[in-house]
Amino acid sequence: MTPNILSEIEKKARNNHARIGLGIGKISKEIIRSAEAASDYADVVLVGDGKAIKETGTGIEIIHSTEPSKKLVELLVAGEIDGAVRGTLSATATLKKLKSALKIKKLYRVALLETAEGVSFFLAPVGIDEGNSVENKIELIKRGVEHFRRFGIEAKVGILSGGRFEDKGRDEHVDRTLMEAEFVTK
């Protein structure tokens, strides 16, 4: 039986109580309040414009930076934080800094989503420049499945294409996605 993914993550978070950096670009009261609520699970550190963040009245630790994407990645790479959440920082800028700092060319991200009925599932690729070749799709699946096993999840993988099999021959792009989906599935 597959465990409830969110319950497993919550349990591991409470037990580990990691130090997590949260990137603050645009300041919103909602993100600050969410960070405060996360204190049950982690020691949150806000990374961004210290003066502006202090004006929210939060008691959370703040690390001031005029380049919060860069600072967040530096903290992560140096081991000063156990994990990082991009928060309101630019995905493009933050991921570019992360890839550069780790000297990697590709990221393989998977998003955890939940339906209104409480059914959790993973969706990938996350970014527009991820999973855009057959090789990358296969690598993303392999890495994702390996990661899910840490939570005791035996993955069932579904592949989306740009159309249905009966659409074959109507559009060159759809034909290519159908062919790739069939190849990746095998």
Could you tell me if 98 and 10 lie in one domain?
yes
Give the contacts of 38 (CB within 8 A, at least 6 positions apart): 20, 44
Among the three residues 75, 102, 129, which one is the final residue of a domain in this structure?
102
Could you tell me if 117 and 98 lie in one domain?
no
Could you tell me if 87 and 126 lie in one domain?
no
Among the three residues 102, 127, 155, which one is the final residue of a domain in this structure?
102
Could you tell me if 98 and 13 lie in one domain?
yes
Could you tell me if 36 and 116 lie in one domain?
no
Could you tell me if 59 and 91 lie in one domain?
yes
Could you tell me if 115 and 97 lie in one domain?
no
Number of independent structural domains in the chain: 2
Could you tell me if 141 and 80 lie in one domain?
no
Among the three residues 69, 102, 135, which one is the final residue of a domain in this structure?
102
| pLDDT tens-digit readout, 30-54 | 999 999 999 989 999 999 999 999 9
What are the Cα distances from residue 48, in Å, to 20, 78, 82, 102?
A: 14, 18, 18, 21
Could you tell me if 70 and 143 lie in one domain?
no
Which range of residues forms the domain containing residue 177? 111-185
At 20 the three-state DSSP class reads strand
| pLDDT tens-digit readout, 50-67 | 999 999 999 999 999 999
Could you tell me if 117 and 176 lie in one domain?
yes
Which pLDDT belongs to residue 1?
Answer: 38
| pLDDT tens-digit readout, 77-108 | 999 999 999 999 999 999 999 999 999 999 99
Q: d(Cα 131, Cα 111) in Å, to the nearest integer?
A: 13
Give the contacts of 115 (CB within 8 A, at least 6 positions apart): 121
Residue 84: DSSP 8-state? E
| pLDDT tens-digit readout, 104-151 | 999 999 999 989 998 888 999 998 888 888 999 999 999 999 988 887
CATH code (residue 65)? 3.40.50.10950
Bridge partners of residue 48, in order along the sequence: 64
Could you tell me if 164 and 83 lie in one domain?
no
Judged against a pLDDT cut of 60, whether residue 171 lies above it is answered with yes
Q: d(Cα 39, Cα 182) in Å, to the nearest integer?
A: 45
